[in-house]
Structure 1
Amino acid sequence: MKKDAKLTDSEREALKKAKSMPVIYDDDSPEMTPEMEQAFIAARKKKPFSKEPLTLYVSRTTIEKAKSLVGDYIAILGHLLDQAVTEYKAM
């Protein structure tokens, strides 16, 4: 969702309806136990999530190629940049 995006009336209604629905847990998405929660907290403390915003000027061709891939093209470009820097440092 874009930062300045406005929800439509039907989207607002769908969110309101979804908010009142019960959460359904299954094998793929089980209810979190206190032990699971502590494991997540410990993992995050061990390896904190941190990214720094960066502005890059990229050719239109590169943007079009990235957008043609399935998924979030900005995340894909970020991942590719991370890989490139890692490989460059290894040289």
Structure 2
Amino acid sequence: MRMNIDLANGLTKEQEEMIRQAKEMPVIYDEDCPPLSEQELREFKCADRIRGGNEIQQTVILHLSPQALHKAELLGADSPSVLSRLLERALNNKDMVEDCL
């Protein structure tokens, strides 16, 4: 099941209940998503570190213009991950950083 939720307007009671129920549902493994062994989980973490990932991510609050928010919403359900990668690339681009100062 997939649902778009507008967090700017807050959650409805129905949405809160759906999220609560989803949290309580058991994980169901299948051939596309088998359970991982402890060794596989360790390797997965190692691969993330090699790619430059961190084990601990910090949550930050950003204020976006209405135009930027609209464009971000168009990125779809994975928009936070896309925005994170965009910000990472922008911060690694010295010219872009200087243009924004």
Q: Does TM, scored on the shorter chain, surpass 0.5?
A: yes
Distance 1:38 1:73 in 2: 27
Q: Deviations over 1:3-31 (max 9, x none)?
A: 976205xx74x776x53xx83431x3233
Change (3 A) 1:49 1:60: same
Offset at residue 54 of structure 1 (A): 2.4
Does 2:90 match 1:80? no
Q: Deviations over 1:27-74 (max 9, x none)?
A: x32332343134235x16776423223232221111101111223333
* Aligned equivalent of 2:17: 7
* Aligned equivalent of 2:39: 35
| Equivalent residue pairs, number | 82
Alignment root-mean-square deviation, CA: 3.8
Distance 1:70 1:25 in 2: 26
Q: Percent identity?
A: 17
Runs of 4+ off more than 4 Å: 1-5, 44-47
Distance 1:33 1:62 in 2: 41
What's the TM-score, normalizing by structure 1?
Answer: 0.55
Which has the higher relative contact order, 1 or 2, with Cα contacts under 8 A spaced 6 or more apart? Answer: 2
* Aligned equivalent of 1:25: 30
Offset at residue 80 of structure 1 (A): 1.0
Bigger Cα Rg: 1
Name structure 2 gaps, 5 residues minimum.
none
Does 2:65 match 1:59? yes
